[in-house]
Structure 1
């Protein structure tokens, strides 16, 4: 769910000490809708790309 992904992204930000809304970071993931929304909300300046295998 989106709520679970937001919890996970919040922990990831804390553990990796990600600052400046994710500027300079690149994340590659599958097409989980909740994850995509959470990335936009929590890390709007990070690049988020989809894995080519999951797109195919």
Structure 2
């Protein structure tokens, strides 16, 4: 498990998460809608929506610390 990226944005909105995910796809050269990738994140609703839109084939898990 490695932290791969982070960003500083004015506000955590759906648009800022879509921007972030689009850059992540480009920088990591992720193909096939995320097949074979597993992402672990907090429960931010905008991020969950963006992950569902951009990575429908990837696994998305919630961080155990944030669930607790």
TM above 0.5 = yes
Name the Cα RMSD after superposition: 0.3
Verify: 1:43 aligned to 2:55, yes or no: yes
* TM-score of the pair, normalised by structure 2: 0.81
Q: How does 1:2-13 map to 2 (within 5 A)?
A: 2-13=14-25
Q: Which runs of 5+ in 2 are unaligned?
A: 1-12
Whole-angstrom distance in 1 between the partners of 2:62 and 2:16? 20
Alignment of 1:31 with 2:7, yes or no, is no
Looking at CA atoms only, which structure, 1 or 2, has the larger radius of gyration?
A: 2
> Within 1, Cα distance between the matches of 2:18 and 2:55?
10
Q: 2:29 aligns with which of 11, 17, 33?
A: 17
Task: Name the SS of the counterpart of 2:56 in structure 1.
Answer: coil
Q: Which has the higher helix share?
A: 1
Taking structure 1 as the reference length, the TM-score comes to 0.98
